[in-house]
Amino acid sequence: MRIGLAGYGRGGRFFHAPLIGLAPECTLAGVLTRSARRRAELADDFPGLPVAGGLGELAAAGIDAVVISTPLDSHEALVREAIALGLPVVCDKPFTPDAASALTLVNEAERSGVPLTVYQNRRWDADFRTVRVLVESGALGEVTAFESRMEQYPPPGGFSVTGGGVLRDFGSHVVDQALQLFGPVAAVYAEMHIVPDSGFDDRFFLALRHAAGVTSHLHGDWTLPGAPGPRFRVTGSTGTFAVESDDGQSERLLSGETEIPGPFGTVPESRWGRIYRGEGVPPEPVPAQPGCWSSFYSAFARAVRGEGPLPVDPRDAVAALEVLDAARRSAARGEVVRLSRAG
């Protein structure tokens, strides 16, 4: 499948372009960018690859689908244009600023019969896939609590504000993962730190009460001054699973490392998570499931060919944005917000 990529910033250049190339069912067929700097970087990375100044021009170059990896405030217009052109479309997260706008786009795509999905690559993290196997197999007994952290040291120059803040950015991942594991959310409590004079949030804490009874505590931080906490901690009636760090796919892509031996998301035994079953019982190392972000694009290609479901149902993104909308209301009011759709 010939994929066009709209946007060649950090996300487009270091994540989408390499992963499209790693999916055997896909090839990168062209890039939309108007920036002279980005065009120069593209020419260095992919000599001779077609570059366009608009989505119509990219479509005319013969692409089969398009990936939107541009700033958040351009997502809606570009997704709508892709739908009008009949192009199957992947939109990066955060999908839209809020659930209402997301639902409008999903409905438009369904009415037009155009495949639309949202890039939730973190479903293919080794650590998350391992947690999912343990939860679904009952290896921890009845799960009562889930903790998830996405924390980073700030990069030189700081993070871009074009993604809408850390709640929309990292929050899109950690909320999606919690919903995948434990289902709809009945109530949300949130705390956020807003950078003075900017309106931009750089860290958050969410407490979610799922309709099924599990409590999720989710953290996101772009200003980490000290040691990060565990990536996941899952507590059940017969044991607790904890894993300290992710599988390193992000670091490898940012360093330009894509051609490596074995599965891309392979985790060495030294970084496997462990199950703890009580005092005096040795922790049980749990072999990590392989992570593979390019699996998203393989599944997307099959779905466009009519050979399977979309890798991410776009209504899952709507559900996650409903939680994030409630989180912003909760943080502003200092109170628990209940979600009526949870039942």
DSSP symbol at 213? S
| CATH number for the domain that contains residue 10 | 3.40.50.720
pLDDT at 264: 59
pLDDT at 158: 66
Segment 36-82, tens digit of pLDDT: 999 999 999 999 999 999 999 999 999 999 999 999 999 999 999 99
DSSP symbol at 14? I
Bigger pLDDT: 152 vs 100: 100
Work out how many domains the chain is built from and give that number. 2
| CATH number for the domain that contains residue 180 | 3.30.360.10
Rounded CA separation 206/63 (Å): 40
200 contacts 161 by C-beta, under 8 angstroms: yes
Range of the domain at 95: 2-119
Residues 88 and 236 in one domain: no
Bigger pLDDT: 125 vs 267: 125
Residues 199 and 240 in one domain: yes
Residues 147 and 283 in one domain: yes
User: Strand pairing of 201-210 and 185-194?
Assistant: antiparallel
Residues 6+ apart with CB under 8 A from 89: 65, 66, 67, 68, 79, 82, 83, 109, 114, 115, 116, 117
Segment 251-267, tens digit of pLDDT: 778 777 665 444 556 78
Task: State pTM to two decimals.
Answer: 0.94
Residues 145 and 111 in one domain: no
The percentage of the chain sitting over the pLDDT mark of 70, rounded to a whole number, equals 94
Does a structural domain hold residue 318? no
Residues 59 and 39 in one domain: yes
How much is the average pLDDT of 191-207?
A: 90
Rounded CA separation 12/9 (Å): 5
Does a structural domain hold residue 316? no
The percentage of the chain sitting over the pLDDT mark of 90, rounded to a whole number, equals 80
User: Tokens representing 38?
Assistant: 């980005």
pLDDT at 261: 41
Residues 151 and 82 in one domain: no
Domain boundary among 104, 119, 134: 119
